[in-house]
Amino acid sequence: MAREWLGWPVLRQLTGRDFLGRGPAVRSANTDEISARTETADRVARSVCPYCAVGCGQKVYVKGEQVIQIEGDPDSPISRGRLCPKGSASKNLVTSPLRQTKVRYRRAYGTEWEDLDLETAMNMIADRVVSTRAETWQDVDEHGRRVRRTLGIAGLGGATLDNEENFLIKKLFTAMGAVQIENQARI
Amino acid sequence: MAEAHPVGFQWVMEAKKRGAKVIHVDPRFTRTSAMAHTHVPIRVGTDIAFLGGIVNYVLSGELDFREYLLAYTNAATIVSEDYVDAEEFDGLFSGFDPDTRTYDTRSWQYAQQEHTGNSEAGTHQQRETASSMQHETHGAQMPGFPPRDETLQHPNCVYQILKRHFARYTPEMVERICGVSQEAFLEVCHAWTENSGRDRTTALVYSVGWTQHSVGVQYIRTGAILQLLLGNMGRPGGGIMALRGHASIQGSTDIPTLYNLLPGYLPMPHATDHPDLQSWVDKVRQPGAKGFWSNADAFAISLLKSYWGDAATAENDYCFDYIPKLTGDHGTYRTVLDMIDGKVKGYFLLGQNPAVGSAHGRAQRLGMANLDWLVVRDLFEIESASFWKNSPEVETGEIVPEECATEVFLLPAASHVEKEGTFTQTQRMLQWREKALDPRGDCRSELWFFYHLGRLLRERLAGSTEERDRPLLDLAWDYPVHDSGPASGEWAEPSAEAVLMEINGYEVATRRPLSSFNEMKADGSTVGGCWIYTGVFADGVNQAARRKPGSEQSWVAPEWGWAWPANRRILYNRASADPDGKPWSERKAYVWWDEEAGQWTGHDVPDFEKTKPPSYRAPEGAEGVKAIEGVDPFIMQGDGKGALYVPQGLIDGPLPTHYEPVESPFRNALYGQQANPTRKQYSRDDNPLNPSPPSSEEAVAVFPYIFTTSRLTEHHTAGGMSRYLQYLSELQPEMFVEVSPELAAERGLVNGGWCHVVTARSAVEGRVLVTDRLRPLRVEGRVVHQVWLPYHWGTGGMVTGDSTNDLFGITLDPNVLIQESKVGTCDVRPGRRPTGPALREYVEGYVERAQANDGAPVVTADADAVRASQAVADRGEQA
Ligand code: SF4
């Protein structure tokens, strides 16, 4: 019993030199055996928090093709390694069990989701764009002005998309003649 | 800021440690208030009155930074003698047309330049196309050398006009309108003015809730006036900091997915104004104006080359004709109403959840239920994907799944770690993200989705002889791909770096990346997708990927990421030096003229031509870049000066004017004109507004309280990225309504119990949170209660609740078509709201009692004033 008490970390902390309990007083054989999962990661990607526009730096640790940790990047002059509750939860964002990983399809008048493979879905969407565009095409508007466009297709994008993505979206919409493309930036 | 941008707030705390005084003006006491020296509670929607009061304090005490003001702003510029201020026309400026509710702006122009203004038809069109957003970079394009009076004595110089305009914004008036005591108000005035000048600068920080008002642009304008008067622009520790709410919302305007803009703030062409390339370019650069927009032809043609590659030639106007043309308002709210009316057939939602996040949620969902097809790309099954089975309208019977014809495709998206690319954060800085791993299953990036959608469309249309298909078939759409991982072969992921390179621009012949937009040519020899981003790939290096640790570089940290334009960290930083090019003070030295070296130098990239000396004066007849003088820091403005007064580009007036929110329990104390007369309004039965004065008192009293909304630290806007996560859901599990103890007593609300909030659109319920973080204010001699709601919940996710945005109607700022969704009137009742069809009956009862659908008049200024204002335009017409 006494021996057990003597090994008690608080006692070690109070009687030893490590009064604040930040060094040897709180170490054990077990401590020496374990290591932070960040140390054994296969690789680290330099990333950026996807929530607000502060743009805090993130380090994304991957092991066995799984994200095992996301931490603040101390090198970032903006965030200096810090993350707020949302940034800290971003591992939860990318690994959440609620994430959709399969295409879902709801047919007209349907009451349930159905499965669809990705390629089929892409082809169906392309077919719909082609036909809606043809059906709603305007070479000129009701005042005879040349407009060459469709007002039958619209889009609304979030502001966590990449610049490169936005570039292709606007480029394709413009070439399709679809002008009603909007973004959270309007909201 | 501490709530919504917590990590950014560390810098406020650093400044505080070094002696800065922190003032927080907010209706509610928050974590930011807790750390500030002073918290000033204010009535929501009265910021122009508050800031206008400070402007008046500065002007009447002559506390402006006179040397800065004279040299760098338009204070001395003389305005047309036809101009009549809102002071004289009961809240309207000269040139108002009550039928279109827009202005003929010719009388607002500088003296001798009246021809550069717009007739009211032109201004009407500007409102429809949110054209003010272009001014985000290019400013007003007026001729470069308007008449000035350096003594500031001329009765029609901007300085004197400003003085008269704000003279009635006294501390007493601020107290009456904003509910802020004169003592608290004067404390803010003292702090701001004492901390501005040669040696000190003051920063104004706002979050973009400021934009969500029917006078949002003018809020920010008032801040700009104040910061220019006090010499705080273009200087370290000064400026106006817009804290944007999403990782790349800045990027989403720079490289817009917005109907009225093309990349780099080039306007989408309009069918009437821009029939051909030349007229389009000339509208942007306005021959005769000063500044860098004079090179708009090079920017525009480089963009067209990036879209249509080899097909774009000088002979065919670089395919200008391929761009679809605007004819009016095609904004997201107009589009949603058009969905309800059956005009829109297909809709793409890309990481966006309007069922919860946009104003008037019911209209959003009813619109989606009336489409032919909807594509939702998201990480989770958000409400906008499942509206047909579990939205509030399914409960009320307005959407019946078996009768709803909308086909829905829910395509899972790749997360930020499963793809590479850049975000542009709130300081205009691009940061490249490395890809950590492949996405699972069917998850794909938007880059993948649109690249392949484009490919499939082009395959389907190949061989088409239809003229309308040329823009798709001629599109430059051959991007290199990463042929590995789950997306490979025909379905491989395109290279984001290749797209970034196209955005940056390159020489067509050599594919050498451009290092500056000055290298762009108007002869088709350069490609450049977004001219303001040119340089992000300078020397063929992805500059946005730079990660030199902050600890190993200067405090400006120029080698972390890349900021547009040209990696400048503070815009217009020429103003950080005095007219002779010397720092205003040692303490505030930032960029200065090095006489010996014959160039600008300093801590940042100078926002000025490197070797143009402060003594440079433009030769007679100069225009464009040549016309920018050595003392013109605001190089994107047509006159090179900071605009205290804005003759062009704003729909609602050259100066900010206090108008009440569209829904307000109070009559405007300053003018007969109650609310913004030029606001964009959609008067329809499905968009009723709560009544405001001058409607009858009984009607207004149906919705006696004011409500506002904002974010919780633990959630993200419409919740699509937070309600589906365990930790964040656990931290903030439930929708709630925050009220003061006084309001709780008045309405019998019990802390922790249920209550519901009602407007003419809907009723939403939540748990009651009684705190003294909200205080009743005394406004116009009576007590008014303000209610606060977070807006993150919906029917999906781990924690569910009613959506606050269902409470708002659709009324927009006329300049940028952003909705007023930070202020409205409401009723608050104890207990839960009715469910099922009874909910609609309940809300309809309120609509009836308040006569909310009766279309109260928008123009409420005195009839004589309206006539006199219109007469000014008529005079201009005859002249
Ligand atoms: S960690 Fe927080 S403060 Fe930083 S970017 Fe993410 S959401 Fe914003």
pLDDT digits (tens, 9 = 90+) for B815-848: 999 999 999 999 999 999 999 999 999 999 999 9
B251 contacts in chain A (CB < 8 Å): 159, 162-163, 166
A38 contacts in chain B (CB < 8 Å): none
Least confident window among A5-9, A13-17, B26-30, B325-329: A5-9
Q: Give how far B132 is from chain A: nearest CA, Å.
A: 13
Confidence of residue B132 (pLDDT cuts 50, 70, 90): low
Q: What is the mean pLDDT of residues B372-394?
A: 98
User: Collapsing DSSP states into helix, strand and coil, what is residue B680?
Assistant: strand
Confidence of residue B855 (pLDDT cuts 50, 70, 90): confident
Q: Is B879 in the pocket of ligand 1 (CB under 6 A)?
A: no
Per-residue pLDDT tens for A128-148?
999 999 999 999 999 999 999
Q: Which of A54, A76, A80, A91 to probe ligand 1 with, by most ligand atoms within 8 A of CB?
A: A54
Q: What is the mean pLDDT of residues B224-245?
A: 97
Q: How far is the CA of B806 from the centre of ligand 1 (A)?
A: 27
CATH topology of domain B680-849: Barwin-like endoglucanases (2.40.40)
Residue A153 and residue B345: Cβ atoms within 8 Å? yes
Tokens (6 digits) for B617: 């004066």
Cβ-Cβ contacts under 8 Å for B399 (sequence gap 6 or more) = B365, B366, B369, B387, B388, B391, B393
Q: Give how far B118 is from chain A: nearest CA, Å.
A: 21
Looking at ligand 1, which atom is closest to the CA of residue A52?
8
B446 contacts in chain A (CB < 8 Å): 157, 161-162, 165, 168-169
- pTM summary value: 0.95
Q: How far is the CA of A58 from the centre of ligand 1 (A)?
A: 10
Looking at ligand 1, which atom is closest to the CA of residue A87?
1
In whole angstroms, give the CA distance from residue B614 to residue B542: 34
pLDDT of residue B879: 54
Domains and CATH numbers, chain A: 2-33 (no CATH), 37-95 (2.20.25.90), 125-186 (no CATH)
pLDDT of residue B854: 76
Out of A111, A121, A184, closest to residue B249 by CB: A184
What residue ranges of chain A have pLDDT lower than 50?
A: none
Q: Give the orientation angle of helix B182-194 with respect to helix B47-60, to 10 degrees.
A: 60
Residue B259 and residue A182: Cβ atoms within 8 Å? yes
| A162 touches B: beta carbon within 8 Å | yes
Per-residue pLDDT tens for B261-294?
999 999 999 999 999 999 999 988 877 777 778 8
Between B127 and B254, the higher pLDDT residue: B254
pLDDT of residue B129: 79
Cβ-Cβ contacts under 8 Å for B610 (sequence gap 6 or more) = B599, B600
Which H or E run includes B9? helix B9-17
Q: What is the mean pLDDT of residues B566-588?
A: 97
Is residue B73 a contact partner of residue B239, using CB atoms and an 8 Å limit? no
Q: What is the mean pLDDT of residues B660-671?
A: 98
Per-residue pLDDT tens for B429-455?
999 999 999 999 999 999 999 999 999
Inform me whether the pLDDT recorded for B878 exceeds 90: no
Residue B454 half-sphere exposure toward CB, CA atoms < 13 A? 29
Facing residues of A45 across strands? A60
CA nearest neighbour of B238 among B210, B207, B206, B205: B205
Per-residue pLDDT tens for B449-497?
999 999 999 999 999 999 999 999 999 999 999 988 778 889 999 999 9
pLDDT of residue B731: 97
DSSP B453-486: HHHHHHHHHTT---GGGHHHHT------EE--SS
Q: What is the dihedral of CA B127, B130, B131, B133, to 10 degrees?
A: 140
Q: Is A48 in the pocket of ligand 1 (CB under 6 A)?
A: no
pLDDT of residue A17: 81
Rounded to a whole number of angstroms, the CA Rg of chain A reads 28
Inform me whether the pLDDT recorded for B421 exceeds 60: yes
Is residue B361 a contact partner of residue B382, using CB atoms and an 8 Å limit? no
Q: What's the maximum distance between 2 C-alpha atoms anywhere in chain B?
A: 80
Which residue in this structure is represented by tokens 């969500």? B212
DSSP B255-312: TT--TTEEGGGEEPPBTTT-SSHHHHHHHHH-TTBBSGGGGHHHHHHHHHHHHHGGG-
Helix, strand and coil content of chain A, in percent to the nearest 5, comes to 35, 25, 40
Amino acid at B182: Q
Inform me whether the pLDDT recorded for B136 exceeds 60: no
A153 contacts in chain B (CB < 8 Å): 344-348
Nearest-CA residue for ligand 1 atom 6 is A87
Is residue B93 a contact partner of residue B267, using CB atoms and an 8 Å limit? no
Which residue in this structure is represented by tokens 């100066």? B655
A173 contacts in chain B (CB < 8 Å): 257
Reported ipTM: 0.96
A75 contacts in chain B (CB < 8 Å): 547-551, 560
Rounded to a whole number of angstroms, the CA Rg of chain B reads 27
Q: Is A51 in the pocket of ligand 1 (CB under 6 A)?
A: yes
DSSP B90-117: TTB-TTEETTTTEE-GGGGSBTT-GGGS
Residue ranges matching CATH 2.40.40.20 in chain B: 680-849
| A30 touches B: beta carbon within 8 Å | no
pLDDT of residue A3: 63
| A63 touches B: beta carbon within 8 Å | no
Backbone angles phi, psi at B204, to 5 degrees: -110, 120
Confidence of residue B137 (pLDDT cuts 50, 70, 90): very low
Q: How many CB pairs under 8 A join A and B?
A: 483
Q: Is B148 in the pocket of ligand 1 (CB under 6 A)?
A: no
Looking at ligand 1, which atom is closest to the CA of residue B716?
7
Residues 300 through 339 of chain B touching chain A, CB cutoff 8 Å: 306-307, 321-327, 330-332, 335, 338-339
Inform me whether the pLDDT recorded for B752 exceeds 90: yes
Per-residue pLDDT tens for B89-126?
999 999 999 999 999 999 999 998 887 777 777 777 78
Cβ-Cβ contacts under 8 Å for B317 (sequence gap 6 or more) = B276, B277
Is residue B176 a contact partner of residue B780, using CB atoms and an 8 Å limit? yes
A47 contacts in chain B (CB < 8 Å): 416-417, 433-434, 436
CA nearest neighbour of B562 among B633, B500, B612, B495: B500
In whole angstroms, give the CA distance from residue B326 to residue A174: 11
pLDDT of residue A23: 81
Per-residue pLDDT tens for B760-795?
999 999 999 999 999 999 999 999 999 999 999 999
Facing residues of A155 across strands? A181, B348
Provide the sign of the torsion angle of the four alpha carbons B678, B679, B680, B685, taken in this order: negative
First and final CA of chain A: distance in angstroms? 67
Out of B250, B332, B798, closest to residue A156 by CB: B332
In whole angstroms, give the CA distance from residue B196 to residue B273: 43
pLDDT of residue B367: 98
Q: Is A86 in the pocket of ligand 1 (CB under 6 A)?
A: yes
Q: Which of A86, A91, A92, A93 to probe ligand 1 with, by most ligand atoms within 8 A of CB?
A: A86
Residue B412 and residue A99: Cβ atoms within 8 Å? yes
Inform me whether the pLDDT recorded for B643 exceeds 60: yes
Average pLDDT, chain B: 95
Q: Is A89 in the pocket of ligand 1 (CB under 6 A)?
A: no
Q: Give how far A24 is from chain B: nearest CA, Å.
A: 30
Residue A158 and residue B352: Cβ atoms within 8 Å? yes
CA nearest neighbour of A79 among B714, B30, B426: B426
| A68 touches B: beta carbon within 8 Å | no
